[in-house]
Structure 1
Amino acid sequence: MGHERIGTLPKSERWRGIVNSISNYAHTDNTIVDIAAQTTKNVRYRFQNIEDDGGVFAAFKYVLTLAFAAKSEDAFAKLAQQGIELPKDFSLYDLALSIQSYVAQNAESKEYSAFATQSMLETIGQWAKHNETSQTVLFDSNDKGLELWQKAANGAGFCELSRLFFAKFTERYLKYFLEREAAASINSLYERTQFNKNLEQHVERISKHAFETSKIVQSFAAAWFNKEVKAKLPTDRKIQGFLSFAFKKINSELVREETKNE
């Protein structure tokens, strides 16, 4: 898969430093290292072959199909051919309901599908906020709804949209496993409660870290879109191949984080 070659991605904060700030309790430094390292290991384990899950695949295929069809005169017919039903004046609310329905129809693992759906809903909301003002009102219809998604129908737009999705997905899993590992490592109920409170206060830092980690996807997504998607919608196998490559790249970044913590 052709893509821009980049070296180690710079990050504003090390993962261990974020975990240390969230912890803020009287345990040894080794405990912090263990929690930070085990969290990323658990995320990496989850991401192995996750592209095979029907729900994760469906969430990504949905937004890819939307971006592809948006530039066509018969966009709604093309969407319908893929099982995506949307009113012509669809709002973000309509889009959210459609995504939830589409993923639910293809769901296998409840956990994967829930995380993928939530991540994609956050992705489309943030994309709309950054690219259009009229669709940021969730319940407002917009007879030019497709115009917003035409901005994702090229390499530059798609790489931004896909990076958002992978960032949101990675963020959710980092938070999920960080909370689990802390619960397993911290014996005091008070300290666990305090950790969870601190976790909510540091969500933006985790979000930023996940966004920086997902830059590795952005480095090859544009080239893939321009090659595989401009003329026709890729086969499921090709879409799955992209997802597999993307998650492997994210895992490679998480491995680098673990190495830094040693």
Structure 2
Amino acid sequence: MGHIRLGTLPQSKKWREVVDLLEADASLDEVAAAAARASELDLGRASDDPAFQHVTSLLVQLPFWARSPGFDQVLAGLNFDPNALSSVSSLLANLSGSIDQSFFELGGSSDAGELARSAFLETLSVELRHRLPSLFEPTPQEIRKALASFSSGANFAPLARAFFAKLTYKSLDYYLSRELANHTGANKRFSDDAQRREFESALAQHTVEASRIVEEFAGGWYGKTIWKEQNLDQEAINKFTRYAFKKMRSELVRRREIA
């Protein structure tokens, strides 16, 4: 199976609708919903991309592995160095390097994989630091404990929500950022770059709010799939990500309809 390369939207009829909304100075809700509809096919296919699948498998399985006795062997198998847990920054650097190696073994990276990698590392950075002491540098044991804490349904839910919020925003921005530049300048939708960045920030917050729908089902899915059924296979994870994307797109459209 080939890697998913994004970027076909600007020629589509649905994307033309996004452009028309920008030109008409439509609301953020309308633009976000139209962009979600326009990107539905590409983002729906992302769950079938091997590079994307590798990242989402880490999202689901890394917390589970962190609470197991063989975690050191797992990290060695991921090509982490012995001091990978010396800091959050070191963990993230090793994780990024491991993902790079896996992408290479899969035959190369992909747009979908890179978006997922970026969203995953940013999410893990924020969520881990929320769970670690802020006054002193955390110990490797504390970092491992914080990572393992996401292996419960209640704690996996906000992790998954943050990941899909970032991933959805990055996916929409992947397409929108190029078009927004065409609508920046005198007598255009955005008078300058600062105004455009305000719109982008509002879009990011919009996806955070919409991602509540993911949090509502992610915890139950994790508890049922990982703990009750002991199912860590990739197809189960793929079904979860497909459903999460579907719910995010539906919620963005719904929010536009009630705005």
Q: TM-score, normalised by structure 2?
A: 0.75
Q: Which residue of 2 aligns with 1:147?
A: 145
Assess, with a 3 A threshold, how the Cα gap between structure 1 residues 206 and 36 changes in structure 2: closer, same or farther: closer
Moved more, 118-127 or 230-239: 230-239
Q: Which residue of 1 aligns with 2:156?
A: 158
- CA shift, 1:173, in A, is 2.2
User: Partners of 1:39 and 1:71 in 2: how far apart?
Assistant: 39
Which structure 2 residues correspond to residues 105-124 of structure 1 after superposition, within 5 A? 105-107=101-103, 110-124=110-124
Assess, with a 3 A threshold, how the Cα gap between structure 1 residues 86 and 243 changes in structure 2: closer, same or farther: farther
Q: Which residue of 1 aligns with 2:57?
A: 61
Assess, with a 3 A threshold, how the Cα gap between structure 1 residues 171 and 33 changes in structure 2: closer, same or farther: closer
Q: Which residue of 1 aligns with 2:82?
A: 87
Q: Does the Cα contact within 8 Å between 2:29 and 2:255 map onto a contact in 1? A: no
Aligned residue for 1:151, secondary structure, equals helix
* 1:52 aligned onto 2:48: yes
User: Partners of 1:149 and 1:243 in 2: how far apart?
Assistant: 20
Q: Does the Cα contact within 8 Å between 2:30 and 2:256 map onto a contact in 1? A: no
Assess, with a 3 A threshold, how the Cα gap between structure 1 residues 136 and 191 changes in structure 2: closer, same or farther: farther
Name which of 187, 208, 211 aligns with 2:208: 211
Aligned residue for 1:87, secondary structure, equals coil
User: Partners of 1:155 and 1:258 in 2: how far apart?
Assistant: 30
Does 1 or 2 have the higher relative contact order (CA < 8 Å, sep 6+)?
1
Q: Does the Cα contact within 8 Å between 1:70 and 1:147 map onto a contact in 2? A: yes
Moved more, 199-208 or 121-130: 199-208
Which structure 2 residues correspond to residues 217-256 of structure 1 after superposition, within 5 A? 217-230=214-227, 232=230, 234-256=232-254
1:40-70 CA distances to partner (integer Å, 9 max, x unpaired)?
A: 3334333212111122222221132220011
Assess, with a 3 A threshold, how the Cα gap between structure 1 residues 90 and 65 changes in structure 2: closer, same or farther: farther
Q: Does the Cα contact within 8 Å between 1:66 and 1:79 map onto a contact in 2? A: no
Assess, with a 3 A threshold, how the Cα gap between structure 1 residues 157 and 177 changes in structure 2: closer, same or farther: same
User: Partners of 1:79 and 1:187 in 2: how far apart?
Assistant: 46
Q: Which residue of 2 aligns with 1:99?
A: 95
User: Partners of 1:133 and 1:28 in 2: how far apart?
Assistant: 48
Q: Which residue identity lines up with residue 210 of structure 2 in the other structure?
A: T
- CA shift, 1:71, in A, is 1.4
- CA shift, 1:33, in A, is 8.5
Q: State the number of aligned residues.
A: 233
Any gaps of 5 or more consecutive residues in structure 1? 1-18
Q: Does the Cα contact within 8 Å between 1:69 and 1:76 map onto a contact in 2? A: no
RMSD across aligned positions (CA): 3.3
1:77-114 CA distances to partner (integer Å, 9 max, x unpaired)?
A: 24445x36353534222222233233333445532222
Q: Does the Cα contact within 8 Å between 1:42 and 1:177 map onto a contact in 2? A: no
User: Partners of 1:173 and 1:136 in 2: how far apart?
Assistant: 36
User: Partners of 1:257 and 1:92 in 2: how far apart?
Assistant: 36
Q: Which residue of 1 aligns with 2:173?
A: 175
Which structure 2 residues correspond to residues 127-146 of structure 1 after superposition, within 5 A? 127-133=127-133, 142-146=140-144
Assess, with a 3 A threshold, how the Cα gap between structure 1 residues 187 and 221 changes in structure 2: closer, same or farther: closer
Q: Does the Cα contact within 8 Å between 1:135 and 1:142 map onto a contact in 2? A: no
1:127-165 CA distances to partner (integer Å, 9 max, x unpaired)?
A: 02211125996xx76343211112101001111111110
Percent identity, please.
26
Assess, with a 3 A threshold, how the Cα gap between structure 1 residues 196 and 115 changes in structure 2: closer, same or farther: farther
Moved more, 238-247 or 104-113: 104-113
Q: Which residue identity lines up with residue 158 of structure 1 in the other structure?
A: F
